[in-house]
Chain A
Amino acid sequence: MLAPLRRGGGGVGGAGRSSGAQVAEAEFTPFDPERFARRGMGGHGARLGLTYRAHGPDWVELALPYDPAQIGDPGRGVIASGPILAMMDMATSMAIWTRLGQFRMQATLDLRIDYLRPATPGRTVIGRGECYRVARAIAFIRGQAHDGDPADPLAHVAGTYMFLDGPR
């Protein structure tokens, strides 16, 4: 397994790449969630309007802008739970690759989501996925979503992913 590169400058937004990058580092490009998101997060991610927000050594934060096309409760204008599930699936997947320092084929084994409260209509939902353990065949993740105040989360997720290239 490739070791993740040490990140400089707080580790947000790939800040460590700008100053004094050496040739040896340039030859080996670790997984960069910001660049990955810019290339597009798949058809469904694009349809939902998911964008990159921030990342750290083992976490990735994505944003889901409010879109009336995602409403699940027309009476109140609250978006459906599905788009939040999709964002957390994406954020937690990317958190694994960020922790590993490289992309690796994987499949979601299970994902549990607790809906703590409805998302506030009109607000962007922010989802932070964290990978807290990588085992030989399985990665373990957790995450939270909020719509402005991280201390007032609207959803909580926990789940597992299996690597498709076999145990290492």
Chain B
Amino acid sequence: MKILVLISNVPDTTTKIRFTGDNTAFDSTGVQWIINPWDELALTRAVELKEAGGVEKIAVANVGTKITEPTLRKALAVGADEAFRIDAEPLDAYFVAKQLTQVAEGYDLIMAGIEASDYNGSGVGGMLAEMLGINSVSAVSGIDIENGELKIHRDIDGGSQILSVPAPVLTVVQKGIAIDPKIPAMRGIMMARKKPLTVLPAIEAEPRTEYVSFELPAPKAACKMVDEENAKELIKMLHEEAKVL
């Protein structure tokens, strides 16, 4: 079985969010870049499956400029065998999915995180599956390989399911897919330097959406405090003032 994990390069989740150019662009000055946390968990599960046997190769792919290479090297250090970078600014989900079609053929399983922590789009995985004409499963909380076949755990309203879906299939993964992200060992970091990282030019694609401006949320009003002894008063406020009871 061959697995492709889609990797988004995002600002560290503790980054203070600022904008430039009259709030038209994200200010990336001084930003630390990381593997999108959901993609990191997807990769972790892929590596676990490989370690358990039954997976011959894991590739990772990213659409981004040269600044994303450290992120891809880290993915190789964690355990991917090969990386692809399509050299372009990731303009929107459609544009990114279209670029990924260049490298996404020939895998049994493609894994994408449920969303990237920057633009929270949740779009690339499903779009890519549709472009490739393959099936997709979303809200995936577990993947096992049994006798060479995929068993996919999916969250549904009020519970969960175990599915069988013939390969090739794209899974959009979320909570549960892996517990903690795999940390690269020194040996992995050394080996990553020798693993192939292929850079491909972008193909023609017109983005269908455009981020035109950003704003920071309005500061929240202060919390109204009630004394412990007068707790009943709070229920009254919810009823009379907030009108939610």
A and B are interacting partners: no
